[in-house]
Amino acid sequence: MSLTSTVQGDAQIITVEAERIDAAMAIQFKEDMRTETASGPKRVILDLTRVDFIDSSGLGAIVAAMKQLDPGRRLDLAGPRPMVAKVFRLTRMDTVFDLYASLDEALAAGSA
């Protein structure tokens, strides 16, 4: 399992416990996300703090993870490193997801 999950307040925090979300693990990631988000709070925050490399397959897997959420639930992203943020920016995925600089920031935005 590449992920760990906790619930804090009204958000589910899913932490990626891998340094890479790449083609070699994209399918596993998508399946793990499906398992973790089978039920839970309306808001899901994906903590990317540990991830130092993502490719287009990994990006596709995060999009897939968002699309497989039940209607009414949302996926926000927290703690992307500069490299990860760059990939989101270049593909304009930063316009699709809410990206927060840190998990704390993401949580603060939710309780505001």
Partner 1 sequence: MGADTQTAGLALRFRATGIAARRANCALGSWLSEAGLPDDRSEDIRIAVAEAVNNIVEHAYLGLAPGWIRLTGRKTARRVEICISDSGTPLPVGPETEGHPVDPHALKRTLPEGGFGWILIRKLTNRVHYRRGAGRNLLTLHFDLSTASQGL
How many Å apart are CA 12 and CA 21, to the nearest integer? 20
| Residue 90 lies near partner 1 (rule: CB under 8 A) | yes
Question: Cβ contacts of residue 94 below 8 Å, gap of 6+?
Answer: 85, 88
Q: Should residue 59 be labelled a site residue for partner 1 when binding is judged by CB under 8 A?
A: yes
Chosen residue from 1, 7, 10, 24 binding partner 1 by CB under 8 A: 24
Using the rule CB under 8 A, is 2 a contact of partner 1?
no
Q: Are 88 and 57 in contact (CB under 8 A)?
A: no
Interface with partner 1, residue 73, by CB under 8 A = no
Report the C-alpha gap between 92 and 105 in whole angstroms.
21
* Chain positions contacting partner 1, by CB under 8 A: 20, 22-25, 53, 55-57, 59-61, 63-64, 66-67, 82-83, 86-87, 89-93, 95-96
